[in-house]
Amino acid sequence: MNERLKKIIDLIPNGAFSLDIGCDHALLDIALVKEKKMKKVIASDNKEGPLLKAKENIAKAKCEDQITLTLADGLDAYQEGVNTVIISGMGGYSILGILKRRKDLLKKIETLILSPNNYVPFVRSSVGKLGFKIVDEYLIQDKNIIYTILKFQRGKEKLTKKDALLGPILRKRRENIFIEQLERERKGRVLLLSLLPKSFFKKRRQVQRELKWILSEQKK
């Protein structure tokens, strides 16, 4: 159980009926039953291989009565009563694709716990347009990689582009890992500007604008 999964578990509301999309080996789902005392969890994946390993792990943990394994694609695994959806370890565009494909079911969801591997600003802004607002977010470092974990609840919000880039709650907390992430983001954009051809006017302006926001945040 790595730090990323531990933080995801912390963010899931007590008593939630959760659907874990892309459950892999179901370690998170077992922990939800064992540590958070959840009575029922749905663990889904669209590949049979991970589900076979998940089945073994669930049997060893003696959680068969509480965890339902489902071979399904995204929100197709939804069951009536599910109020919390967890998606971790996928690309940002894949996560948004899953959510947008079944907008009809999103109306029944109260909480989203998302941990995209990339395109985090895109996820922040796009999920807001689906009727959810950010209520918590954390940065977790694992093997020199910094992951973002986002908690959304049903509601309305309109993020500024700067908040979408840097994280509205992360900016307020200003933890050490956030300061470290800012420096990584700064270096990445400086390098990108050095590589982008001058003919890429629009992209260069975007990167320059983001670099300006990062530098202003670093000065606080």
pLDDT tens per residue across span 169-199: 999 999 999 999 999 999 999 999 999 999 9
> Which whole-number Å values give the CA distances from 107 to 19, 82, 112, in the listed order?
15, 11, 12
CATH class of 3-159: alpha beta
Strand partners, 103: none
Average of per-residue pLDDT across 67-75: 93
**pTM, full prediction:** 0.93
CB atoms within 10 A of CB 205: 10
Measured N-to-C along each axis, helices 27-35 and 3-11 cross at an angle, to the nearest 10 degrees, of: 50
Look at residue 163 and tell me whether its pLDDT is greater than 80.
Answer: yes
Q: 203 is written with which tokens?
A: 């992209």
Average of per-residue pLDDT across 153-169: 93
Banded pLDDT at 1 (limits 50, 70, 90): confident
Question: Residues 154, 131: contact at Cβ < 8 Å?
Answer: yes
Residues in contact with 26: Cβ distance below 8 Å, sequence separation at least 6, in sequence order: 20, 43, 53, 54, 57, 58, 67, 69
Average of per-residue pLDDT across 199-216: 95
Banded pLDDT at 50 (limits 50, 70, 90): confident
Can you give the pLDDT at residue 117? 94
Sequence-ordered strand ranges (E) for 39-168: 41-45, 67-71, 84-88, 111-115, 132-142, 145-154
In three-state secondary structure terms, 29 is helix
Can you give the pLDDT at residue 164? 95
Question: Residues 33, 41: contact at Cβ < 8 Å?
Answer: yes
Q: In angstroms, rounded to a whole number, what is the distance separating the alpha carbons of residues 73 and 22?
A: 9
Look at residue 83 and tell me whether its pLDDT is greater than 90.
Answer: yes
Can you give the pLDDT at residue 15? 87
Average of per-residue pLDDT across 68-93: 94
Look at residue 90 and tell me whether its pLDDT is greater than 80.
Answer: yes
Q: In terms of pLDDT, which residue wins out, 139 or 157? A: 139
Instruction: Give the mean pLDDT of the chain.
Output: 94
Look at residue 38 and tell me whether its pLDDT is greater than 90.
Answer: no
Can you give the pLDDT at residue 115? 97
Can you give the pLDDT at residue 157? 86
Average of per-residue pLDDT across 79-101: 95
pLDDT in tens, 108-153: 999 999 999 999 999 999 998 999 999 999 999 988 899 999 999 9
